[in-house]
Amino acid sequence: MSELIAPHGGKGLTICLLEGDELAEEKKKAEGLKKVEISPRVKGDLIMIGTGGFSPLTGFMTKADWKGVCEDFLLADGTFWPIPVTLDVSKADADEIKEGDEIALWDPKSDEIMATMKVTEKYEMTKEDKRWECEKVYMGEGTPTAEEFWKIAKEDHPGVQMVMNQKEVNLAGPVKVLSEAEYPTKYKGIYLRPAESRKIFEERGWKEIAAMQLRNPMHRSHEYLAKIAIEVCDGVFIHSLVGNLKPGDIPADVRVKCIDVLVKNYFVEDKVVQGGYPLDMRYAGPREALLHATFRQNYGCSRMIIGRDHAGVGDFYGMFEAQTIFDKIPCPSEPGKALLCTPLKIDWTFYCYKCDGMASLRTCPHDKSDRVLLSGTMLRKLLSEGGELPDHFGRDEVVAILREYYEGLTEKVEVKLHGAATGE
């Protein structure tokens, strides 16, 4: 009997990824089905549904699910869920599909059929519907009114742009997933299914595991957060996003190298597990922090490290809004339907010259001038412009890897600073 936290939803890991003869038969059948093109975001969502990472989801959301998630953080059956997981198609495609039809979900980049799906519902997504979703899911304390939000969101928020650019109709229904795409081979040893991470944790005898979300290379602040987690849990799961990011973010293979060298030189290695997952960032700040905790529960983690501006973009969210949102979400009483993975809330951390070490706003009494403020955005900006990093910003071994990456770039992407990156 496992002593790890139970998967979300009360149904165990809901695996929709086919294998063996069943996979071969479904692939053959898929060739004769209507092909529907999917976006990179949907591709990542499919893989997470397939491997049980999105348990208890077994397909794409109905209109009732979509509305309940946006408005109340709840699926139609009352299970907690923080962000819509939907499949958008063009009106032309939707007109050719009837409820009850089976379709093949096709990734144009790899020319691969990723899944089959039985369509149980079609529902239109008007411009007003999309705007409503954006205001519910993406609007935070940094832009407290809809008017302020829309002044800048259409140009500066990649998550909002993604939703507004979705096609006109959503399809709902269960899926059978046929592929994990390039992830098992491209990120061999890093990409993990939830069942695999759970097995590792059980073999190590861990019960309490903290997940660390990463989309930037690990700097000293990340290192400090991970070590705090190790002090209070059995171990830490450094779980990197290996799906798509926005322009200017550092690719997954470079980040993995940075984590490898950091763990080898500065951690007790048997207290750390490194993994990767295939989602695209949604940049939904507080809502995405909840999503991160939800699917980390499926990977076996009982805690989710939530620091400053988690999953944020620009100044759309309050500095610690991703922490306080955990105190406001519904807690369904029916077994398995509530979020069980709890936040490990940690204040803004930095290196302090007077403290002569890493500290946080809770532990350091000194002035801002005595601190090296650490942020992934600032790190990317300084390195992309060939600038010098302040002492104690990052470990030398990590900085060397990043400098090599930036020196090899032929095209530079401007990195914009915002309040959370500068300490304003």
* Amino acid 381: pLDDT: 75
What is the chain's mean pLDDT, rounded?
A: 92
Task: Supply the pLDDT for residue 260.
Answer: 92
> CB atoms < 10 A from the CB of 101, how many?
16
So what's the pLDDT on residue 194? 98
Burial of 394 by CB count in 10 Å (0-12 exposed, 13-18 middle, 19+ buried)? buried
Q: What percent of the chain has pLDDT over 70?
A: 95
Which H or E run includes 59? strand 59-60
Residues 331, 334: Cα–Cα separation, whole Å: 9
pLDDT exceeds cutoff 60 at 253: yes
Residue 190: Cβ-neighbour burial (10 angstroms; 0-12, 13-18, 19+): buried
Mean pLDDT score, 101-113: 97
Q: Report domain 188-422's class.
A: alpha beta
pLDDT tens for residues 310-343? 998 989 999 999 999 999 999 999 999 999 999 9
- For 20-125+166-181, the fitting CATH number among 3.40.50.300, 1.10.645.10, 3.30.420.40, 3.10.400.10 is 3.10.400.10
The tens digit of pLDDT for each residue in 273-315 reads 999 999 998 999 999 999 999 999 999 999 999 998 899 898 9
User: Which residue would you say has higher pLDDT here, 236 or 248?
Assistant: 236
Per-residue pLDDT band at 416 (split at 50, 70, 90)? low
pLDDT computed for residue 374 by the predictor: 65
- Mean per-residue pLDDT for 162-186? 97
- pLDDT category of residue 414 using cuts at 50, 70 and 90: low
- Higher pLDDT: 380 or 414? It is 380
Q: Which residue has the higher pLDDT, 206 or 410?
A: 206
How many angstroms separate the CA atoms of 334 and 261, rounded? 44
Which pTM was predicted?
A: 0.93
Write down the pLDDT at residue 393. Answer: 78
Give percent of the chain with pLDDT exceeding 90: 79
In sequence order, the β-bridge partners of residue 177 are 17, 115
pLDDT score of 24 more than 50: yes
Please determine, for residue 174, whether its predicted confidence score (pLDDT) is greater than 80: yes
| Residue spans in the chain of domains classed CATH 3.40.50.620 | 188-422
Residue owning tokens 């742009």: 161
**What is the set of active-site residues?**
215-216
If pLDDT is split at 50, 70 and 90, which confidence band does 389 have? confident
- Which pLDDT score, from 0 to 100, does residue 251 have? 83
CB-hemisphere CA count at 13 Å for 46? 29
Reported confidence tier of residue 196, pLDDT bands at 50, 70, 90? very high
DSSP for 270-295, written as a single string: GGEEEEEE-PPP---THHHHHHHHHH
Cα separation values, 366 from 228, 358, 362, 371, Å: 21, 12, 11, 8
pLDDT tier at 421, thresholds 50, 70, 90: very low
Instruction: Give mean pLDDT, residues 125-139.
Output: 98
What does the pLDDT average to over 413-418? 54
User: How does residue 148 score in pLDDT terms, banded at 50, 70 and 90?
Assistant: very high
pLDDT band at 105 (very low <50, low <70, confident <90, very high): very high
- Among the listed residues 322, 316, 347, the one whose alpha carbon sits nearest the alpha carbon of residue 418: 316
Give the single-character DSSP code of 326: G
Query: CATH 3.10.400.10 spans which residues of the chain?
Result: 20-125+166-181
Identify the pLDDT of residue 423: 47
Tokens representing residue 356 in the block: 């002569």
With a cut of 60, say whether residue 20 has pLDDT above it. yes
- The whole-number pLDDT of residue 422 equals 44
Of 145 and 251, which is predicted with more confidence? 145
Per-residue confidence band for 50, with pLDDT thresholds at 50, 70 and 90: very high
| pLDDT for 424 beyond 50 | no
